[in-house]
Structure 1
Amino acid sequence: MTQEFTGPGNRILEVDLSTGKVSIYQVKDKERRLYLGAKGLGLKLLFDRLKPGRAPLGPDNILAIMPGVLLGMGGPCTGRFHALAKSPLTGIISTSSCGGPFGLALRTAGWGGILVSGSSEKPVYILIDEHGASIHAADHLWGKSTVETQDVLDDEKQSSLLIGPAGENLVRYANVRSGKRFLGRGGLGAVMGAKKLKALVACGGAYRIAPVSKKEYKRAAKRGSSYIARNEMSAVRLRNYGTNSNVNPNNRAGILPVKNFSDGRDDRAYQISGEMVKDVHTTRFETCKPCKILCGHKGNYGGKTLAVPEYETTAMLGSNLDIFDRQAIAEFNELCGELGLDTISTGGTLGWAMEAAEKGLIDMDLRFGEQEKVAEVIADIAYGRGFGKELGLGCRALSEKYGGQDFAMQVKGLEMAAYDPRGSFGQGLAYAVANRGPCHLSAYLVALENYFGLLKPDTIRAKPEFVIFFERLTCCINALQTCQFTMYSYTLEPLLSKYTPDLILGLLMQNIPKLAIALIDFSTYTQLWNGATGIRMSNREFLQAGDRIHVLERYMNIREGGTGSEDILPLRLTKEPLPCDAEKKTVPIDDLVPRYYSLRGYDQNGAPGKNILKKLKINEV
């Protein structure tokens, strides 16, 4: 008989693959209040356990899988979980979010997370149910693709979180799969591969998850759903065209990556846009659950039903490689998914390799636009064959060995997401200072600068203030954890934002950013938290928790040897104007970062000062 489980779930499984020991950690009330859940609580658990300097692919690294606080309670877009570990690609902390079914299975098995340490001598998988966890041999699964492994492990009761050949072969940007969704960035698949951990399998359904205050939660969820239903970004653009709705506006703005970010616009871009995909490929929904936005789609590609690639994949494996063939891009996406490769880093690394080959830095028969050769190279990367083994190290390592660092489009070792900041200075700052590397999901300034026109994209005014605000809010969202796309509706649909003319909003945001930020209504998130957990927090306390999570992550990276010298952008973005830009702009990152540090309370090396750590109670628990 299914039992009801109320609240966030405070029992955390700890599994040591070296010893086989399984134990349970009980989350403290103060930890929950200070760090919320998912990403935030996961960081705190790693902070207490993961000693600085440990090798990312060594047994001392810890993989944390943390379901969202709202997971299982039926709220809109709440079917997400988070994973964290030290990254083999960057050498600092990596975090990643996923909307696959494993999180719900883990949550309804009665667990608020799992920490995996140590390493096995032989391939294994971890089986989780309401009684705990057990370790099982996985020799029969080693070498199988992600799809083949799912066919063995997944059924109506079980959901797996697993790696493919790329993770087994320690490709530094190998990802992890759950259903048809992925933990993409930072090489968490290689962390599992180094531990000889093929999969985690959760048997869910033992518990029904309920909020502590059902009426309050239901009221907040209903409000959130109504906001989503009437917001143009969520209910029209994302629902109809998916994230590929970004292709056309990015191309018009000159921020679409073309040929390894050597240009920002191409007349062929419409061919890979969400509008064209919908018209030609008879798309239908294939979404995370439960979802109200419905941005995920699948379609008919040459008689095969394939997932419609997300914008990042379309841009990085498409225009970034000078490829504008929708069928080819969808097949590259499918292949990366089967082999277990992050599509953003794969596209960024291949972009560097194509340019390096053109310039004679490497001997490789691969050039921009040669789509017929890409699939073979992707497979070589996953299996570590030939030069593919070196490509599996990422473009930072490659450029340090062969040259071409100026056009290695990475920061802190992570390949850059698919927005060219020469046409979006705020996004450039967000990339430079993002904790895990140049990530659009740390602070999404491109929406304010290029989609809504509320901030001028080619000025530095107000950019540090808004980057900091969205870093805080994003950490709150990733701690709940709900979909970041709800940010459009939850902040733009409340009355003040919705009915204030854009001209007035823009003037206020550009000239009085502190006041503009203070007027942003994000209370739907706070109300969902309050109803779900019964832990009362004001909007101010909630946003401060997001600040604490972000600064803790920064502090952990500093402990690993990170410095402000890494808060930079590739020289291509700061020295080379875009050919499509008549004004010949480059990103003035040296003017943006010091202001950001000052507002953040960091020292000149980008480290959080003692005062800010004390204020945020970082070491208090």
Structure 2
Amino acid sequence: MAKCGGYMGKVLVVDVKNRTTSLYPWSDADREDYLGGKIMAAKIIRDNVNPNVKAFDEENIIVVSTGPLTGTNAPASSRFNISTISPLTGLLTSSNCGGNFGLSLKRAGYDALIIKDKSESPIWIEITEEKVLFHDAKDLWGKKVSMTQEALDSEAGKIVIGPAGENLVKYASIFSGERAAGRGGIGAVMGNKKIKAITAKGNLRPKIAEPEKTKEFYKKWIGSLRDHPLTGEQLPKFGTAGLISLMQHRNILATKNFKYGQYQDFQKISGERLRKDFLIRNKGCVTCPIQCGRQVEIGSRVVKGPELETLGLLGPNLLNNDLELILRWNLELDELGMDTISTGGTIAFAMELNEKGLWENNIEFGKTENISEIFEDIAYRKGIGNQLAEGTRYLSEKYGGIEFAMHSKGMELSAYEPRSAIGQGLGYAVSNRGGCHLNAGYLVLFEGLGLSIDPYSTKAKAELTIMTQNIMEATSSAGNCLFTLYAMLPKNLIRNPNSKVTRFTNKLLTTSLAASIIRFINKADEKLLPIKLSQIPQIKAIELVTGMKMTIGKLKNIGDRGYNLERMYNVERGVRAKDDFLPDRLTKVTQREDEPNSYVPLDELKEKYYEIRQWDQNGIPKKTKLRKLKLIE
């Protein structure tokens, strides 16, 4: 059992081939170094999966992991992580989910679940406090996501796949309730192992080191989230969809396969219109005070509405202004068990291939009547759907168009057009899992969606990207939603964007002085930063829950360790500097004639990034860095 609070103290290993279970050794020292979540999963995968193993090899494993805040009633702490080798990128991938499975896994007595080997026939797995049972899933195989979940215990937490996962679509997702662990094709790995679903159920709770102090601190934390203009006003009112209008204004709304950064009909698919014409009520993840989710009515069903990424990539990126249609498409893709981001990105690329005469496929920008049929064809790998199911990189290698194939490391980019947010562009390129806005460090929050630092300046962008990546890695591994980090931006700066103080701050953050300070913070040993920051309440929460001493220096270093651990393993799988790339459209073509700097100067940004990360010119972490992080002897 764990001496640290916040943990159940057990990691369950399930061998689906031999129908056996065991426990994986995970010590309190491991908990101090890796916390949990995606960093814990990266450590387990690197220690157990040979770098030559491919996604669909039976030697590949799936790790489902929680953090120490999960199950403690911390705000927005129902998050759990799923990591594996991605069939889309061929690299270590992770995907985070806000469904109830992580909470239920802890209540069954486990901090994490490791799935190994491969079943010969479809099964579903039942996990309780007392036992693990393997059930025949022949009656579930072939069912869509909601029907699968309805057929299982209504009181249990669940993760399930849809037809896309069964048919090994390279960007198939895993669902828990209405929430998706969407990216990287983890649903296809689960389908390849012939696992249709896993349930977990129990009544156990993790012990908390300082229960009364924790309860009081959580009340203050929730109050600060509700008092912040982003987490207490914008997200509850409009959800992530509320960013559409701001992205339009900032020239970062991906349009027509990222050819443009603005869409003339943006108001028709905006968060404001979604709220006015379609919103039934707000809904959030378990334990979340923000409640950014949208509930909409489709036919006779009230279901989850689309997030910003879905609106952007199935709307402007396809030149589609029909919001009602996007609502329906979002439901269709969820039922099939497919990532809306990669689906939208792949279809947009196919549209441009068709437009340029490189692949005649009857998929056209602005033409929507055949898209639902295409979704089905992808999920069941019928006709051209069989090729679309492989993703953008595959299509570009087969038909050409590499210069406008919107992916990095094989993962399709999310909806932020980076030529007017070049720090976000750097993040896309160096992200461990590929074209992900969150693993990128989400610098777009500083470049126009929260603050308004110069989006075209290279100053301090590498430094800020590393800082945000490290803090986000650690926050995620604690089991906390990354949206809570929005509140680290001082609320007065957000409420008063035109004040002298805000304008000064925006200018200061892209100066040599700011770059030097942030560089020092990024490189500093944790002993040099022995403080707690009220802007990052996760620091104190982790300390109160676990009993571990936690400072900004230690939290930052845990994130740094996690980011470099994933990088080190991907390097072992063959990643080098050449793989930290963006397509030529984003790095060699200006977005707008009136702004000559509206492109991503990737080589310059990468050079700075590597130097601060202490990676060599090939993008390989230096041994001195790895020793400092305790990743090698």
SS of residue in 1 equivalent to 2:8: coil
Question: Shift of residue 132 of structure 1?
Answer: 3.8
Greater shift in the superposed pair: 313-322 or 490-499? 490-499
Aligned-partner Cα distance in 2 for 1:221–1:105 = 21
Alignment coverage as a number of residue pairs: 614
Partner of 2:204: 207
Partner of 2:601: 588
Structure 1: stretches of 5+ with no match in the other structure = none
Q: Deviation per CA, 1:365-400, whole angstroms, max 9, x where unpaired?
A: 110111111110011000000110110000001110
Contact 1:146 1:163 in 2 (8 A): yes
Contact 1:464 1:595 in 2 (8 A): yes
Greater shift in the superposed pair: 238-247 or 218-227? 218-227
Aligned-partner Cα distance in 1 for 2:300–2:197 = 31
Partner of 1:362: 359
Partner of 1:235: 232
Partner of 2:214: 217
Contact 1:508 1:515 in 2 (8 A): no
Aligned-partner Cα distance in 2 for 1:580–1:322 = 21
Question: Shift of residue 297 of structure 1?
Answer: 1.1
SS of residue in 2 equivalent to 1:136: strand
Partner of 1:310: 307
1:256 to 245, 253, 258: 253
Partner of 1:141: 140
Greater shift in the superposed pair: 506-515 or 435-444? 506-515
Q: Deviation per CA, 1:130-162, whole angstroms, max 9, x where unpaired?
A: 124222211111111011101111312x12101
Q: Deviation per CA, 1:295-336, whole angstroms, max 9, x where unpaired?
A: 001123566533220000000111111101111101111011
> Is residue 2:95 matched to residue 1:93?
no
Greater shift in the superposed pair: 217-226 or 328-337? 217-226
SS of residue in 2 equivalent to 1:208: coil
Q: Deviation per CA, 1:222-279, whole angstroms, max 9, x where unpaired?
A: 2321221111111111100000111001011111111111111122101111111111
Question: Shift of residue 439 of structure 1?
Answer: 1.1
Aligned-partner Cα distance in 2 for 1:245–1:31 = 40
> Is residue 2:282 matched to residue 1:280?
no
Question: Shift of residue 129 of structure 1?
Answer: 0.6
Contact 2:238 2:275 in 1 (8 A): yes
Query: TM-score when scaled to structure 1?
Result: 0.95
Partner of 1:186: 184
> Is residue 2:48 matched to residue 1:45?
no
> Is residue 2:568 matched to residue 1:555?
yes
Aligned-partner Cα distance in 2 for 1:409–1:136 = 41
Question: Shift of residue 361 of structure 1?
Answer: 1.3
Aligned-partner Cα distance in 2 for 1:251–1:538 = 38
Aligned-partner Cα distance in 1 for 2:216–2:556 = 21
Question: Shift of residue 516 of structure 1?
Answer: 5.8
> Is residue 2:424 matched to residue 1:422?
no
Aligned-partner Cα distance in 1 for 2:429–2:495 = 29
Contact 1:72 1:210 in 2 (8 A): no
> Is residue 2:322 matched to residue 1:320?
no
Aligned-partner Cα distance in 2 for 1:302–1:319 = 24
Aligned-partner Cα distance in 2 for 1:306–1:207 = 30
Partner of 2:505: 505
Contact 2:229 2:491 in 1 (8 A): no
Question: Shift of residue 515 of structure 1?
Answer: 3.0
Aligned-partner Cα distance in 2 for 1:561–1:497 = 46
Residues 143 and 581 of structure 1: CA distance in aligned 2, closer, same or farther (over 3 Å): farther
Letter in 2 for 1:68: G
Residues 603 and 6 of structure 1: CA distance in aligned 2, closer, same or farther (over 3 Å): closer
Partner of 2:583: 570
Residues 141 and 153 of structure 1: CA distance in aligned 2, closer, same or farther (over 3 Å): same
Letter in 1 for 2:173: N
Residues 254 and 66 of structure 1: CA distance in aligned 2, closer, same or farther (over 3 Å): same
Question: Shift of residue 584 of structure 1?
Answer: 6.3
Residues 297 and 619 of structure 1: CA distance in aligned 2, closer, same or farther (over 3 Å): same
Residues 557 and 394 of structure 1: CA distance in aligned 2, closer, same or farther (over 3 Å): same
Query: TM-score when scaled to structure 2?
Result: 0.94
Aligned-partner Cα distance in 2 for 1:535–1:35 = 12
Partner of 1:477: 475
Counterparts of 1:105-120 in structure 2 under 5 Å?
A: 105-120=104-119
SS of residue in 2 equivalent to 1:501: helix
Contact 2:8 2:206 in 1 (8 A): no
> Is residue 2:617 matched to residue 1:618?
no
SS of residue in 1 equivalent to 2:151: helix
Question: Shift of residue 522 of structure 1?
Answer: 4.3
Letter in 2 for 1:155: S
Letter in 2 for 1:486: T
Aligned-partner Cα distance in 2 for 1:114–1:393 = 28
Contact 2:254 2:415 in 1 (8 A): yes
Aligned-partner Cα distance in 2 for 1:321–1:243 = 19
Q: Deviation per CA, 1:537-575, whole angstroms, max 9, x where unpaired?
A: 222112111110110010010011111101111111112
Q: Deviation per CA, 1:149-179, whole angstroms, max 9, x where unpaired?
A: 01111312x1210100000000000000000
Contact 1:382 1:388 in 2 (8 A): yes
Question: Shift of residue 26 of structure 1?
Answer: 3.5
Partner of 2:62: 63
Question: Shift of residue 89 of structure 1?
Answer: 0.3
SS of residue in 1 equivalent to 2:109: coil
Letter in 2 for 1:482: N
Contact 1:87 1:93 in 2 (8 A): yes
Question: Shift of residue 493 of structure 1?
Answer: 4.9
Contact 1:277 1:283 in 2 (8 A): no
> Is residue 2:614 matched to residue 1:601?
yes
Aligned-partner Cα distance in 2 for 1:35–1:504 = 37
Aligned-partner Cα distance in 1 for 2:59–2:492 = 46
Contact 1:39 1:478 in 2 (8 A): yes
Q: Deviation per CA, 1:62-110, whole angstroms, max 9, x where unpaired?
A: 1000022211111111111001001000000100100001111111111
Contact 1:227 1:490 in 2 (8 A): no
Residues 216 and 546 of structure 1: CA distance in aligned 2, closer, same or farther (over 3 Å): farther
Contact 1:13 1:133 in 2 (8 A): no
Letter in 2 for 1:207: L
Contact 1:94 1:436 in 2 (8 A): yes
Residues 491 and 209 of structure 1: CA distance in aligned 2, closer, same or farther (over 3 Å): farther
Structure 2: stretches of 5+ with no match in the other structure = 522-528
Question: Shift of residue 48 of structure 1?
Answer: 1.0
Partner of 1:378: 375
Aligned-partner Cα distance in 2 for 1:618–1:257 = 38
Letter in 2 for 1:457: P
Letter in 2 for 1:506: N
SS of residue in 2 equivalent to 1:549: helix
Aligned-partner Cα distance in 1 for 2:5–2:551 = 21
Partner of 1:460: 458
Residues 367 and 277 of structure 1: CA distance in aligned 2, closer, same or farther (over 3 Å): same
Letter in 1 for 2:97: C
Q: Deviation per CA, 1:50-71, whole angstroms, max 9, x where unpaired?
A: 1111010110111000022211
Residues 497 and 92 of structure 1: CA distance in aligned 2, closer, same or farther (over 3 Å): farther
Letter in 1 for 2:124: Y
Partner of 1:172: 170
Contact 1:217 1:530 in 2 (8 A): no
